[in-house]
Amino acid sequence: DALPNIAFCISNENTPPEIYQKPFCQINRIQADTYSLGVLFYMLVFHKRPPWQKYIRKGIVRSLSSQSKQQRLATIEKTYLDTIQKAKKTMKGTQLKIATITLDMLHPNPDKRPLLIEVQKQVKELME
């Protein structure tokens, strides 16, 4: 039996920031999947949602001006960078390595996110 055709779907909670840069239908699904998995990793590592997620709501994208979208992206990036700095100050060793993998998956620029095969390799190396 053939597998059913499953439609691509991202919930508001896992919507990547690039929703403010291009129409949802033009978002790279592989990069978006990396981001969504990164949200899950973040919740497992940090025991909360990424702090910038409150600025990402795909339902309001159409109502925002270009300037508002750019402001949201800037806020997301600043909050992301602040989170990296905090992790570097408060975590060490394997915990910091896992946090770094997680935060790389959540990079606001989709082109800077690792491929999932790279994430798999990094996690496997930590487990050995």
Query: What are 51-82's pLDDT values in tens digits?
Result: 988 888 766 777 788 898 899 899 999 999 99
pLDDT along the chain (128 residues), means of 10: 43 77 84 92 91 78 84 93 96 95 96 95 93
- CB neighbours (10 Å) of residue 42? 21
Q: What percent of the chain has pLDDT over 70?
A: 88
- Please tell me whether residue 15 adopts helix, strand or coil conformation: coil
Eight-class DSSP state of 106:
T
pTM, whole model, 2 decimals? 0.84
